Structure 1
Amino acid sequence: MTAGGRPYSDVMSHDSEAPVLPVQAFEPPYYVAVFTTVRTQDMSGYSETAERMEELVKEVPGYLGMDQAHTPGGLSITVGYFRDADALTQWRTNSEHRAAQKRGRAEWYQSYSLHVAKVERSHAFTQEES
């Protein structure tokens, strides 16, 4: 899976040399889950759990991809794309994902917000290289 067009491990390591591309535009309607966090200082176990969640979400029929961005101040935004509400529900109710959510609230997140929306319009642009 990629995050913003980059392998998730590149995003986690902040590899500035990797090309950055957003997830493509899909034919609407589809759903997005926007997860915005401010992390705590203790991130022990986070990377391993994030990698496992990446493996799991890819198994959900209807999962389309993910974009992710981090600010130097600690704000992270993850946008997950799902073909339909059933795919999103399957992800939300996955038992391993639920356990990771619980651990996130207890250890990794100072705060977070989650916004779910149905996308009605979508388009993309990529400048061609000269």
Structure 2
Amino acid sequence: MIVGRVPPHSVAMSNHSEAPVTPVEAFEPPYYAAVFTAVRTQDQSGYSETAARMEDLVKDVPGFLGMDQAHTPGGLSITVGYFRDADALTEWRTNAEHRAAQKRGQAEWYESYTLHIAKVERSHGFTRA
């Protein structure tokens, strides 16, 4: 399993295996989590470039807090994006370039996916010293 995290204002690494494996920090609630779980198709032509562009683009959304990602060798991927408020989520959901990537994903890259939006009411974290 490959796991990575994308904080809102960092440079995304091209090789996630070199990035430190840590979850996005716990924020003061309330905030929102968008959980996107997908099974990908065999043909992933253009996916990596589009995913990198979406990571760069979402960082510019005011209220974007960060993102956790995990991928299995069998093609299951989970991305959790964290947003300060519903307005930030709406801005991301309605971004024209993001909408175009969604349409391409449905046409080419995903066998299936689910999206869950949740309001986080409790949050805490732990880091070993």
Instruction: Calculate the TM-score normalised by the size of structure 2.
Output: 0.90
Letter in 2 for 1:91: W
Partners of 1:63 and 1:5 in 2: how far apart?
11
Aligned 1:52-71 pairs, distance under 5 A: 52-71=53-72
Partners of 1:74 and 1:46 in 2: how far apart?
13
User: What SS is found at the alignment partner of 2:15?
Assistant: helix
What corresponds to 1:40 in structure 2?
A: 41
Contact 1:61–1:87 under 8 Å retained in 2: yes
Closer, same or farther: CA 85–120 of 1 in aligned 2, 3 Å: same
Q: Which runs of 5+ in 2 are unaligned?
A: none
CA positional deviation for 1:111: 0.4
How many residue pairs get matched? 122
Q: Which runs of 5+ in 1 are unaligned?
A: none
Residues 43-75 of structure 1 deviation map (CA, whole Å, 9 limit, x = unaligned): 000011011111110110000000000111110
What corresponds to 2:102 in structure 1?
A: 101
User: What SS is found at the alignment partner of 2:35?
Assistant: strand
What corresponds to 1:10 in structure 2?
A: 15
What corresponds to 2:90 in structure 1?
A: 89
Q: How well do the aligned residues superpose, as a CA RMSD in angstroms? A: 1.4
Percent sequence identity over matched residues? 78
What corresponds to 1:124 in structure 2?
A: 125
Closer, same or farther: CA 122–97 of 1 in aligned 2, 3 Å: same
User: What SS is found at the alignment partner of 2:81?
Assistant: strand
Letter in 1 for 2:14: S
What corresponds to 1:50 in structure 2?
A: 51
Contact 2:63–2:84 under 8 Å retained in 1: yes
Instruction: Calculate the TM-score normalised by the size of structure 1.
Output: 0.89
